[in-house]
Amino acid sequence: MSFRGEVRDWLAVHVPDRPLPSVDTAAGFDRHRAWERELAAARLAVVSWPARYGGRDATLADWLVFEEEYHAARAPARVGQNGLFLLAPTLFAHGTAEQRDRLLPRMARADDVWAQAWSEPGAGSDLAAIRARGTPVPGGWRLSGTKTWSSRAAFADRAFGLFRTDPGAGRHGGLSYLMFDLRAPGVTVRPIRQLSGETGFAEIFLDDVFVPDADVIGAPGDGWRVAMSTAGHERGLTLRSPGRFLAAAGRLVELWQRRGDPADTALRDRVADAWIGARAYQLRCQATAERADAGGPGDGGPGAEASLGKVFWSELDLALHETALDLLGPEAELRDEDDWADGYLFALAGPIYAGTNEIQRTVIAQRLLGLPR
Amino acid sequence: MTAARSPEQEQFAAALHDLLSGPVPAGRAAGLARWRDLARLGVTALVIPESRGGLGASPLDLVVAAEELGHHALPGPVAESLAAVPRLLAALPGPEAAQWQHGLAAGDLLATLALPPRLPYAADADAAGLVLLAEHDTLWLAEPGPARRSVDPARSLSGVRGQRVLARGPEVADAVRDALRLGALASAAQLLGAGRALLEASVGHARTRVQFGQPVGAFQAVQHRLADIAIGLEFARPLLDAAAQALAQGRPEAARDVSAAKVACADAASRAARAALQVHGAIGYTAEHDLHRWLTKVRALIPAWGTQAQHRAEVMAALTGAGQPAAAWT
C-alpha cells in the first residue's frame, strides 16, 4: 500500500469522531498528549525523522503527503509542535549526538512537550534586545529574567530560548541557546488568556534557574546564529504545511456550493482566489521539499526565502477564513458553526508570530531584493 | 509531481535573455525585427510538430520562452503566433497548412487570430502575414479590418472578417479549445515575465535614486511595497509551471490550472506595474523612460485570452463540478 494510503486508512480509524477539547485547556492538553502517543505508536508522529528517534526516514515530500492527509482528516492539533517543528530541526543541525539521543525519542512520544521562549516584554520584533540572563556557574548556567508569549507554556514540560550569557559581547554576540525545565525550582509560569478565550501562551518568570551545560545547543555565545539558521523552519513549510490551507480551501469551496449565492460573483471570486492561493502554496512547498530532498537548499536555509512564504501563508489563512465568515452571513459569529470562527481567531495571530509580517517584508527587501539596510 | 524546470529549460531562458538584452532598439518596428532572432533559437518553432519543420516542444518550453519575451516586453503577437495559431494549424491537413507551419517555424511568417467572443480582435494583424478567425468548430482565413490603437503603443488590435473556410468539424472544435488554453498559458507567462522586469527595474531605481539624502529604497514604505510584489510573483510561478505540466500530460484539471495561472500572473503583474510606476515617480510616467513599455503591455495583456472574471469563473466551475467548465469558446 502507498504511504498516502496507509496514512489515510490509519487516520480514518483513529481520528476521534468528536473534536478533542481545546489543546489550550488542562484537560484538552492531556487528551492531545495521549493522541500524540497514539501517533507515535503507529510511527506517524515524526515520519521525516530517522528511525532511531521514532521516525521513518521519510522524505520531506512524503511528509507533505502526511500533512495533507492529516489536515484533510481533521485530526487533532499537534500539541508537540514547538518541539517537533522548531527545536528538533535545531537539534539536527546544531545539537550533539547525546542531546539528540536523550531528547528526540521523548519528544516524539510527547513524554516531553516543549514550549518556545523567544519573546520578552522588551524584545518582540526586536528579538536581539533580549535581556534574560544566563550566568555561568560550575557545571552550567543560572537563568534569570522574563519570557513572554510562550506558546503552550501554560501546560508544557520544558522550554527553549535565547539568553544573554555575555552582556559585553554586543547585541547579537553573547546570546546562548538554552533549554530548561518548566517545573524547575525558580520557574513561575503565568498563563495568559488570549482573545479567543484560551490560554494558548504564558509568561515565564525565571529566578536563578539552574541549567546544566548539557542543555546548551551549539557553543555558548553562538545562540543567535544557531537560532537564525533554523528560523526558516518556524516561518516556512515545517510550521505551516500546505495541508492546513488545502483542507480549509476544500471546505470553503464546499461551503460555497452549499450556501453561496450564485449571483454574488464578488464573493465567488474571493473563494476562487483563496483556493488558488492554497494551491500556489502547495506547489511551492512541493518544489521546496523536492529541492531539499535532493540535497539542495530547503526552506530552513538562510531564512530569507522562508520569509516570502510566511507572509503569504499568514495572509492566505486570514483570507480563507474571512471569506468563509462572509459566506456564512449572520451565523458567522457562532463559535460552534463549523469551526470557522475559531479558525479565524487562530488565523489572526499568523501575521504576528514567528516574526511579524513587517519584519519579514524587511528581510525580503534587504536580503532577497538587495535594497539598502 | 511538481513542475521544476530542467537545466536545459533554464539554459534556454538564459540564452533568450542574452539575445534580447543589450542596447534596446526603440519602437515597435525594431522589436518586430527581433522575431528573426527568435527563430534562430527555435522559439517560433516550439509548438509546431517536428513533421512540419518544428520542434514539437512541451507547453513548459513555451512558458519558459513566453516568460522571457514578456521579461523584455518584446512587441508582436506572442501568444497568437507562438502558441494558438500553431495549435490550430495542427488540425489542418493539406499543403497550405504545412507551408504556413514551415514559415512560422523558420521565422518568415508572423500569425495572429481572432477567437470571438473571448478574443474579439486579432492582435498585431497589421504586422502579421497570416490572420485566422476561429469560431466554435470553424476555422477561417480572415481579412483584418483597420488596425486600432492599443493602450500598449507597441501593439494593435483589428476586427476580422472570415474570407474562406479552412476547416470545420469536431477536430477544429478540439483545436480551438486547446488553442484557448495554450494562448492563455502563454499570455500568463508573458505577464509573469513583465512583472519580474517591473520589479527588477523598481529595485534598480530605488537603489540609486537619492532623496532626503538616501536611496529611496532605504525607506520602509518602498521596501515593504516591493516585498509584496516579490511575494506575488514568487507564488504565481508555481501555478504557471503546474498548468503547463497539466496541459503537457493532458490532465482533466488542465483548464482549471491554466485559469488559476492566468489569474495569479495577471494579478501579480498588475500590482507590480502599479508599484513600479509609484517607485519611479514622474520619470516613470514619461515616454522617454523605458518603464512604460512594460506598464502598458501588462495593462493590454490582463484582459487578453480571458478576463480575470472569466478565469475565476472557470476555476470555480471546475472545482464545483458545474458541468463542463464554461464552453471552451466563450
**Tens digits of residue pLDDT in B260-301:** 999 999 999 999 999 999 999 999 999 999 999 999 999 999
Is A273 an interface residue toward B (CB < 8 Å)?
Answer: yes
Please tell me whether residues A235 and A223 are part of one structural domain.
no
Please tell me whether residues A258 and A220 are part of one structural domain.
no
Please tell me whether residues A265 and A215 are part of one structural domain.
no
What is the pTM for the complete model shown?
0.94
State whether B313 and A265 contact (CB < 8 Å).
yes
Cβ pair B304, B79 in contact under 8 A: yes
Is A372 an interface residue toward B (CB < 8 Å)?
Answer: yes
Task: Determine, yes or no, domain membership for B270.
Answer: yes
State whether A277 and B236 contact (CB < 8 Å).
no
Please tell me whether residues A360 and A235 are part of one structural domain.
yes
Catalytically annotated residue among A68, A203, A234, A305: A234
CATH number of the domain enclosing B303: 1.20.140.10
pLDDT at B328: 38
Q: What residue has cell string 547525546?
A: A98
Domain count, chain B: 1
Residue B87, C-beta contacts closer than 8 angstroms, at least 6 positions apart: B47, B175, B178, B179, B182
Cβ pair B114, B121 in contact under 8 A: yes
Task: Determine, yes or no, domain membership for A324.
Answer: yes
State whether B226 and A271 contact (CB < 8 Å).
no
What is the mean predicted confidence (pLDDT) over B148-168?
97
Please tell me whether residues A211 and A150 are part of one structural domain.
yes
Confidence bin at B79 (pLDDT 50/70/90):
very high
The b-or-e profile of A351-373 (16+ CB within 10 A means b, else e) is bebbbbbbbbbbbbbbebbebee
- In this complex, the residue of A286, A311, A358 whose CB is nearest that of residue B2 is A286
For B12-55, the pLDDT digits (tens) are 999 999 999 977 667 899 999 999 999 999 999 999 999 999 99
Q: In what order do the strands lie in the sheet with B138-149?
A: B111-114, B130-135, B138-149, B156-168, B122-123
CA terminus-to-terminus distance, chain A? 52
Residue scoring higher pLDDT (B304 or B325): B304
Distance CA B321, CA B318 (A): 5
Please tell me whether residues A133 and A52 are part of one structural domain.
no
As a whole number of angstroms, the longest Cα–Cα distance in chain A is 73
State whether B4 and A365 contact (CB < 8 Å).
no
Q: What residue has cell string 470553424?
A: B138
CATH number of the domain enclosing A153: 2.40.110.10
Task: Determine, yes or no, domain membership for A172.
Answer: yes
Q: Closest Cα of chain A to B54: distance in Å?
A: 31
Domain count, chain A: 3
Please tell me whether residues A197 and A275 are part of one structural domain.
no
Distance CA B300, CA A367 (A): 33
Provide the chain A residues 299-318 that lie in CB contact (below 8 A) with chain B: 308, 311-312
Task: Determine, yes or no, domain membership for B123.
Answer: no
pLDDT at A234: 61
Task: Determine, yes or no, domain membership for B230.
Answer: yes
State whether B264 and A358 contact (CB < 8 Å).
no
Q: Closest Cα of chain B to A133: distance in Å?
A: 32
State the amino acid at position A26 in one-letter form.
Answer: A
> Which among A279, A360, A368 is the top mutation candidate for probing chain B, defined by the most B β-carbons within 10 Å of its own β-carbon?
A279
DSSP letter at A19 equals P
Is A267 an interface residue toward B (CB < 8 Å)?
Answer: no
Residue A302, C-beta contacts closer than 8 angstroms, at least 6 positions apart: A232, A367
φ, ψ dihedrals at A124, nearest 5°: -105, -100
> By C-alpha distance, which of B325, B260, B320 is closest to A260?
B320
Is A367 an interface residue toward B (CB < 8 Å)?
Answer: no
Q: What residue has cell string 463542463?
A: B324
- CA-angle at A181, arms to A49 and A31, nearest 5°: 65
Radius of gyration of chain B (CA): 19
pLDDT at B326: 41
State whether A275 and B239 contact (CB < 8 Å).
no
All residues of chain B having their beta carbon less than 8 Å from the beta carbon of residue A257 are 320
- In this complex, the residue of A253, A277, A312 whose CB is nearest that of residue B319 is A253
- Kindly identify which residue of chain A lies nearest to residue B225, measuring between CA atoms: A361
* Final residue of a structural domain among A212, A227, A242: A227
State whether A287 and B227 contact (CB < 8 Å).
no
Does the pLDDT value for residue B78 go beyond 90?
A: yes
- In this complex, the residue of A287, A312, A369 whose CB is nearest that of residue B226 is A369
Name the residue range of residue B226's domain: 176-319
* Final residue of a structural domain among A175, A199, A227: A227
Is B218 an interface residue toward A (CB < 8 Å)?
Answer: yes
Distance CA A207, CA A189 (A): 11
All residues of chain B having their beta carbon less than 8 Å from the beta carbon of residue A260 are none
Task: Determine, yes or no, domain membership for A352.
Answer: yes
Task: Determine, yes or no, domain membership for B114.
Answer: no
Please tell me whether residues A234 and A359 are part of one structural domain.
yes
Is A283 an interface residue toward B (CB < 8 Å)?
Answer: yes
Tell me whether strands A175-181 and A216-217 are parallel, antiparallel or unpaired. antiparallel
Distance CA B216, CA A371 (A): 9
DSSP letter at A85 equals I
Task: Determine, yes or no, domain membership for A97.
Answer: no
pLDDT at B156: 97
Q: What residue has cell string 458545474?
A: B322
C-alpha cell belonging to residue A181? 525545565
Tell me whether strands B122-123 and B156-168 are parallel, antiparallel or unpaired. antiparallel
Task: Determine, yes or no, domain membership for B92.
Answer: no
- In this complex, the residue of A272, A312, A360 whose CB is nearest that of residue B316 is A272
Please tell me whether residues A275 and A323 are part of one structural domain.
yes
Q: Closest Cα of chain B to A338: distance in Å?
A: 20
Please tell me whether residues A223 and A244 are part of one structural domain.
no
Name the residue range of residue A181's domain: 114-227
State whether B239 and A280 contact (CB < 8 Å).
yes
Q: Closest Cα of chain A to B5: distance in Å?
A: 10
State the amino acid at position A67 in one-letter form.
Answer: E
Distance CA B298, CA B266 (A): 8
Does the pLDDT value for residue B329 go beyond 60?
A: no
Q: Closest Cα of chain B to A228: distance in Å?
A: 20
Please tell me whether residues A244 and A222 are part of one structural domain.
no
State whether B239 and A272 contact (CB < 8 Å).
no
Task: Determine, yes or no, domain membership for A23.
Answer: yes
Q: Closest Cα of chain A to B239: distance in Å?
A: 6
All residues of chain B having their beta carbon less than 8 Å from the beta carbon of residue A291 are 4
Task: Determine, yes or no, domain membership for B225.
Answer: yes
What are the DSSP E strand ranges found in B26-150? 111-114, 122-123, 130-135, 138-149
* Final residue of a structural domain among A25, A59, A79: A79
All residues of chain A having their beta carbon less than 8 Å from the beta carbon of residue B1 are 61, 286, 290
Does the pLDDT value for residue B66 go beyond 50?
A: yes
Which run of H or E residues covers position B20? helix B7-20
Task: Determine, yes or no, domain membership for B40.
Answer: no
- Sign of the Cα pseudo-torsion (A321, A322, A324, A330, in order): positive
State whether B218 and A371 contact (CB < 8 Å).
yes
All residues of chain A having their beta carbon less than 8 Å from the beta carbon of residue B264 are 276, 280
For B95-135, the pLDDT digits (tens) are 999 999 999 999 999 999 999 999 999 999 999 999 999 99
Q: Respond yes or no: is residue A305 known to be catalytic.
A: no
State whether B224 and A368 contact (CB < 8 Å).
no
Please tell me whether residues A299 and A331 are part of one structural domain.
yes
To the nearest 10 degrees (0 to 180), the angle between helices B220-248 and B59-71 is 150
Q: Closest Cα of chain A to B31: distance in Å?
A: 29
State whether B217 and A371 contact (CB < 8 Å).
yes
Task: Determine, yes or no, domain membership for B71.
Answer: no
Taking chain A (373 residues) in runs of 10, the rounded mean pLDDT of each run is 96 95 93 97 96 95 95 95 93 97 98 96 94 97 97 96 94 95 98 91 97 98 90 69 94 96 96 98 91 69 79 97 96 85 94 94 96 96
Distance CA A44, CA A54 (A): 9
- Kindly identify which residue of chain B lies nearest to residue A263, measuring between CA atoms: B313
State whether A361 and B315 contact (CB < 8 Å).
no
Does the pLDDT value for residue B2 go beyond 60?
A: no
